[in-house]
Copies of this chain bind each other. A is one copy, B any other.
């Protein structure tokens, strides 16, 4: 059998979808010396708001929430990360401190590539730089879109959009309906800009309306079209 650690690194360098696929063979070789893997348990910080970035992080396995603390410590989840997602690169490439915290939602494996390698080697490769540009540009579009959604949609619309977002990001189990992510009601609330009570209440309402079904943290999307409509119209 393969060693899980080696597998992770190989995949990151060689996978066609990887950021690092565009590096030259020499750069890939050097990358090997600037890469490290580590394991996190559930509910561990990968970094906190205000921290200086130590490298570019790839989530090899697991799930992570990236969130900011706002008024009175109230948490707003900025985005969710899934395996092969990149974390903490915004602060790194702009030479700033992290503006959000990253916390594992389950046992996770992360791969860290030294800040030095990214800044002094990888970014000198304009193909790699272009990959980063595309990531940032798409994330900026997402953030601007969320800004409008979270400020303008009503609770039902915001929650519906979050459920769609989770479905798109993590997909569904083999039954074709159960979301492949098991969040607390509080996290769902913090993703959707509402109180935990209202997330609970509104999920119940959706379940009564047969748009979803809920069984603890297991959420099935029964009527995706209807959910889409609720997201648009409330």
**Residues of chain A at the chain B interface (Cβ within 8 Å):** 68, 70-71, 74, 76, 78, 90-91, 93-94, 96, 99-100, 123-126, 129-130, 132-134, 136-141, 143-153, 157, 193, 234
18 pairs from A and B in contact (CB 8 Å cutoff): A68-B144, A70-B153, A71-B157, A74-B152, A76-B152, A90-B140, A90-B141, A96-B138, A99-B141, A99-B145, A123-B126, A132-B133, A139-B140, A143-B143, A143-B144, A147-B147, A150-B151, A151-B151
Which of chain B's residues has its CB closest to A123's CB?
Answer: B130
Which of chain B's residues has its CB closest to A154's CB?
Answer: B71
Which of chain B's residues has its CB closest to A136's CB?
Answer: B136
Report whether A137 and B71 are in contact in the complex, using a CB–CB cutoff of 8 Å. Answer: no
CB distance from A169 to the nearest CB of B (A): 18
Q: What separation, in Å, do the CA atoms of A146 and B148 have in the docked complex?
A: 11
Interface of A is mostly: helix
Which B residues are in CB contact (< 8 Å) with A74? 152
Most buried by B among A130, A138, A147, A153: A147
Which of chain B's residues has its CB closest to A194's CB?
Answer: B151
Q: What separation, in Å, do the CA atoms of A153 and B70 have in the docked complex?
A: 8
Partner of A133, one of B91, B136, B148: B136
Which B residues are in CB contact (< 8 Å) with A130? 123, 129
Q: What separation, in Å, do the CA atoms of A139 and B141 have in the docked complex?
A: 11
Partner of A149, one of B70, B99, B139, B146: B70
Which of chain B's residues has its CB closest to A148's CB?
Answer: B70
With A129-B130, A143-B143 as known contacts, state yes or no: A148 contacts B90, CB within 8 Å. Answer: no
